Structure 1
């Protein structure tokens, strides 16, 4: 089966912003991912809404959408307290099973697998704050039990919505 790979950017098809963003093909947009620490801020300390607004401003809204990865839902929820259209740009979440910070995970000998069912509930709670969330999965410490619990909870909501129509 043939595999797909992104096109190589050519000098005539590449745009560059004033920031340190890499060259990119003008015909193919990609998602951009952030990770968050406790309190819902990027490791730099920047709030998520400001990071998305700045990235969009510096790149002409080039990212197709945004994702959050390698952060527990309890780290994500505080970032979503600010209202705005920026939340519609968030479409994906790949969460850690553990509530530990990145520093704690780096120092730990095990990642911790948390509670898969609770992680599914946590995703469900975030789903209400992220109207376009449609890409989900697991990151550090997750396995098929976590992904199954996430899918089960979110699919149940989809079925309920269809029944209400």
Structure 2
């Protein structure tokens, strides 16, 4: 009986740090930053919310609102392209390189709305896309950091593709 009690105490002493570590690991995160869409030369403020399913896999949603338009000239007629909004959902694969640094890849599905104004008229351009990309997150402390990422939006139909580059503040909770 005494040996069983000693073994139980020893196993508890070994398991307690592992249990405490898994409980204190942040499960969710949020991002707020700027995203540049390369092909249209527009920009947006982007917010993301994610939940870590485990150390290596997360689910993430993002939404953006356009803040930078692109002036265009078609056959001598001035106009502009506006990034109205976009939203997407992703599955994220992560690899922690160190306590403060992780690299990730992500794939998902989204929708982007643009507006083209030309010769006094305007037209809305909206398209769904399969998205994939990669990036890196660096935490300054255990909860705050920065994220840099690249995402390719492969639009359905004949709408082509568009690369976006983002830089954002990260908060884990």
Common fold by TM > 0.5 = no
TM bucket, shorter chain: under 0.3
TM-score normalized by the length of structure 2: 0.24
TM-score normalized by the length of structure 1: 0.24
Q: Which of the two has greater strand per residue?
A: 2
Higher Rg of the two aligned structures? 2
